[in-house]
Amino acid sequence: MELFFAAASPFVRKVMVVLHETDQTGDVTLVQSVQTPLTPNPANLNPLAKIPCLTRPDGPALYDSRVICRYLDHRAGAGLYPERRLWETLTLEATADGIMDAAVLMVYEGRIRPEGKQFPDFVEAQWGKVAAALDALEDRWISHLSGPLDMGNIAVACALAYLDFRHPGRDWRMGRSALAAWEATFAARPSMIASRPS
């Protein structure tokens, strides 16, 4: 299999963590594919020109990160989507992906949009979404996050790490001590260390 990849992408990181946690890294070749909405990679088999995208010998290319992670979990029989708490796990993953979406848009606004056309209110509105999601994680999800490994806690760890990587000045830990403590423990997993963004 081939994975269209960029080390800085939090969505790609979800896939990398799943590959590590399910012992499948040897089954995937990484294809460097740094891209933005204005610079798509024509070789990427995702028609939406986003990463991650996974090609496989026995079927069409898979995207997006949620589909790829679920496929890899199924392939390994790893149980990252436990039946008993399936809807909570998927909602937690969606919350993490929403944080990533907003945080990536903030980066694009600063990097891609010409300076005179940048819209600070849009950036702050995106951060508002991130902050609300972080508050929800702190208030309602710590018990789930602290439970057995699943796709929900993997995705949240990747989202929080991305905030540190791209938005260090925002200090997401302030006022969220439980989430900060959980993140510090999860970040020590070998899968998180092996997939650190660069």
Ligand X SMILES: N[C@@H](CCC(=O)N[C@@H](CS)C(=O)NCC(=O)O)C(=O)O
Closest contact distance (angstroms) between CB of 35 and ligand X is 5
x/- mask, ligand X, residues 103-142, rule CB under 6 A, reads: -x--------------------------------------
**C-alpha span between 13 and 7 (Å, rounded):** 7
- Phi-psi bin for 11: left (phi > 0), alpha (psi -120 to 50), beta? alpha
Burial profile 51-90: b = 16 or more Cβ within 10 angstroms, e = fewer: bbbbbeeeeebbbbbbebbbbbbeebebebbeeebeeebb
50 is a site residue for ligand X (CB under 6 A): yes
User: Nearer to ligand X by C-beta: 55 or 138?
Assistant: 55
Residues in the chain: 198
CB 72 within 8 A of CB 131: no
Nearest to 192 by CA among 18, 28, 71: 18
- Phi-psi bin for 49: left (phi > 0), alpha (psi -120 to 50), beta? left
Number of residues in contact with ligand X under rule CB under 6 A: 14
x/- mask, ligand X, residues 139-178, rule CB under 6 A, reads: ----------------------------------------
Q: Which residue is nearest to ligand X (CB)?
A: 64
User: Nearer to ligand X by C-beta: 67 or 181?
Assistant: 67
Closest contact distance (angstroms) between CB of 102 and ligand X is 11
Closest contact distance (angstroms) between CB of 2 and ligand X is 16
What is the footprint of ligand X within residues 9-38 (CB under 6 A)? 9, 11, 35-37
Closest contact distance (angstroms) between CB of 37 and ligand X is 4
Closest contact distance (angstroms) between CB of 97 and ligand X is 6
Residues that bind ligand X (CB under 6 A): 9, 11, 35-37, 49-52, 64-66, 97, 104
